[in-house]
Amino acid sequence: MIRVFTAAGWSAPRQGKLWAGLVALVALSVPFGALAPTARAQDAAKADSKNAPEPSIAGAGGEEEAQEEPVDPSESHQAAPIAVFKDPNAELALDIKKYPEIRASRMPNQSEIAQVKEMAGSPLVNVDQNVITTVVNGMIAQLTNARNIQAAIDPNDKTNPNSATARAIQEATQNLLEPIFMARASKNVQFQVKYNQVLLQRLVPVLKHHLVPRIQAMIVLAQSANPEALGTFLDEIKNPGQTVWVKLWAFRGITNIKAQNGRLSTSQEADAAKIVADQLKANKSWPWPVQVRGLEALGALRQGFLPTSPRTADMATVAFDYLTDQNLEPEVRAEAAKALGAMRITAAVPKYNFELAGYATAELAADLGEDLLDLSSDNKLHSQKLTTLLVGQVFQAFEGVPTDRDSGFLRNPSLANQAEVKKYIDAMRPMAKSAVALMGAPTGQIPARTDELTKSLATFKDFLAKNPPADNRLFTGGPEYAPPAAPAQADAGTGAADAAKPNALAGAGGGR
């Protein structure tokens, strides 16, 4: 098992808030927690699991905030398989003997490491690029040292966990990351520019090294949010020989560029979004965390179509495909909904169907509600995660993000008839409010809150069945989404809940 050290302790890019310490992330066989799968995710080979830091669950659309009770880990992790994702490209990059160490002419001393951090933390301190280069070269040498890598790959009982070798990878990563965060916090642009230049120049070769240093290098580049690194991010995303865990951080790097400074031209954004969309389209088998980061990047770029080919709306098509694919994890579908809502769609796209986009997103909300009822009594932590998706990304698909102008279906200037879309989120609110109430309910109120969610979900699904969109194509010549079958048309032995599920996107691939 490989330990990879990352700044996962940082909050979402827009918040810019540092959490103490570095968090371990496993790269080759990646357990993403131990939580029970949803009703639609029973395949043990891709068992669903979510234990990422959980945001507080705010009331849907400005509703009251739920008061959560602490969850007993023994209750929330019952019979919970760990998701394990294996990437052949990662396995090929595990042979230490294949990769010569990248040596530094001399290793920096602690005074020089502290000097770089002092430069980063204060705009009043002169920036010495020679010292920066010495420190960066030294940290790369530490990352690519064979003994240090071996200690990260296969720690054993004889390895002192406090030894310099055991701590080397973590310390090198930390020493490269801390100046980024310190300079950002102090708005030290002069240091950021010079430090980013050195990082980009020195770290790109490491992306072809052993699995451990290449992931660490991409983490650092991603957190730098350097617009000049966009080409590197895209190259690695397209690289068929690169491990998906490097691609994950390359996607995050694109998101960070937009979140931290946004200095990309429209053509850069469109070209980048097309590459991201093409890779998502071609790789529906990627692990769900990688898909989430890809869709997050697509949403950050906000380009739904190429200016040269608006009639195909390539990026919107891919996001819609992911949204409507019930074989995908709920996190993936929710991020796809948010990305679709964030896209700038103009009249250049022929007859873009906001009503259908809103309807498909509402169908996702109904699916989340069903899964909540299925799991609420067995796995509260997982149910809280689903509720967060409901009142987070799903509502943001409709209402947008305040800091992103014209984001969300309802705020898009091209939406001609707002009522056609608003009816879906209005119908969703009571169900979402019931879900939040159930998650925050004390033990004695859980049966009543469960009954309330059951009734509000049934009402919401009945509304969806009676109010399908007039047109089932996303745009002229675009993907088609069939409305759900009426309960009376369900096959014998099939429940009304299954009958109300929408058909898959016409022509869509994928599956578990």
Answer whether residue 58 shows pLDDT above 60: no
Top pLDDT among 410 and 441 is at: 410
The reported pLDDT for the residue numbered 443 is 86
Domain ranges of the chain: 87-265, 287-512
Mean pLDDT over the full length of the chain: 82
Answer whether residue 428 shows pLDDT above 80: yes
If you average pLDDT over residues 191-205, what whole number do you get?
98
Beta bridge partners of 4: 25
Answer whether residue 158 shows pLDDT above 70: no
If you average pLDDT over residues 363-389, what whole number do you get?
88
Least confident of 93-97, 375-379, 384-388, 459-463: 375-379
If you average pLDDT over residues 357-386, what whole number do you get?
89
If you average pLDDT over residues 326-332, what whole number do you get?
96
225: left (phi over 0), alpha (psi -120 to 50) or beta: left
Q: Rounded to an integer, what is the distance from CA 346 to the centroid of its chain?
A: 26
Dig out the tokens for 217 from the structure.
């290098």
Answer whether residue 143 shows pLDDT above 50: yes
If you average pLDDT over residues 413-422, what whole number do you get?
96
Among residues 179, 189, 98, 186, which one has the least CA distance to residue 139?
A: 179
Least confident of 46-50, 234-238, 253-257, 387-391: 46-50
The reported pLDDT for the residue numbered 303 is 97
Least confident of 34-38, 156-160, 233-237: 34-38
pLDDT over 90 for what percent of the chain?
69
If you average pLDDT over residues 196-224, what whole number do you get?
98
The reported pLDDT for the residue numbered 386 is 93
For residue range 112-134, what is the model confidence (pLDDT) as tens digits? 999 999 999 999 999 999 999 99
The reported pLDDT for the residue numbered 376 is 66
User: Distance between CA 256 and CA 293 in Å, rounded?
Assistant: 11
Those residues with Cβ within 8 angstroms of residue 6's Cβ, 6 or more apart along the chain or in another chain: 22, 23, 24, 25, 173, 219
Per-position DSSP letters for 103-172, written without gaps between them:
--SSPPPHHHHHHHHHHHH-TTSPP-HHHHHHHHHHHHHHHH-HHHHHHHH---TTS-TTSHHHHHHHHH
If you average pLDDT over residues 419-448, what whole number do you get?
94
The reported pLDDT for the residue numbered 77 is 41
If you average pLDDT over residues 82-98, what whole number do you get?
90
Answer whether residue 270 shows pLDDT above 90: yes
The reported pLDDT for the residue numbered 157 is 59
The reported pLDDT for the residue numbered 38 is 33
How does residue 153 score in pLDDT terms, banded at 50, 70 and 90?
confident
The reported pLDDT for the residue numbered 490 is 38
The reported pLDDT for the residue numbered 377 is 64
100 by Cβ neighbours in 10 Å (0-12 / 13-18 / 19+) ranks as exposed
Host H or E run for residue 383: helix 380-389
User: Distance between CA 33 and CA 15 in Å, rounded?
Assistant: 24
User: Distance between CA 113 and CA 492 in Å, rounded?
Assistant: 70
If you average pLDDT over residues 299-317, what whole number do you get?
97
Answer whether residue 59 shows pLDDT above 60: no
If you average pLDDT over residues 346-356, what whole number do you get?
96
The single-letter DSSP state of residue 81 is: P
Answer whether residue 67 shows pLDDT above 80: no
Beta bridge partners of 344: 303
Answer whether residue 53 shows pLDDT above 80: no
pLDDT over 70 for what percent of the chain?
77
User: Distance between CA 315 and CA 292 in Å, rounded?
Assistant: 15
Top pLDDT among 81 and 124 is at: 124
The reported pLDDT for the residue numbered 374 is 84
Q: How far is CA 446 from each of CA 26, 162, 387, rounded to the nearest angstrom?
A: 36, 47, 15
Answer whether residue 103 shows pLDDT above 60: yes
If you average pLDDT over residues 20-35, what whole number do you get?
29
Answer whether residue 498 shows pLDDT above 50: no
In one-letter notation, the amino acid at residue 255 is: T
If you average pLDDT over residues 367-393, what whole number do you get?
87
Answer whether residue 452 shows pLDDT above 50: yes
How does residue 380 score in pLDDT terms, banded at 50, 70 and 90?
confident
Helix (H/G/I), strand (E/B), else coil: 5: strand
How does residue 39 score in pLDDT terms, banded at 50, 70 and 90?
very low
User: Distance between CA 115 and CA 490 in Å, rounded?
Assistant: 70
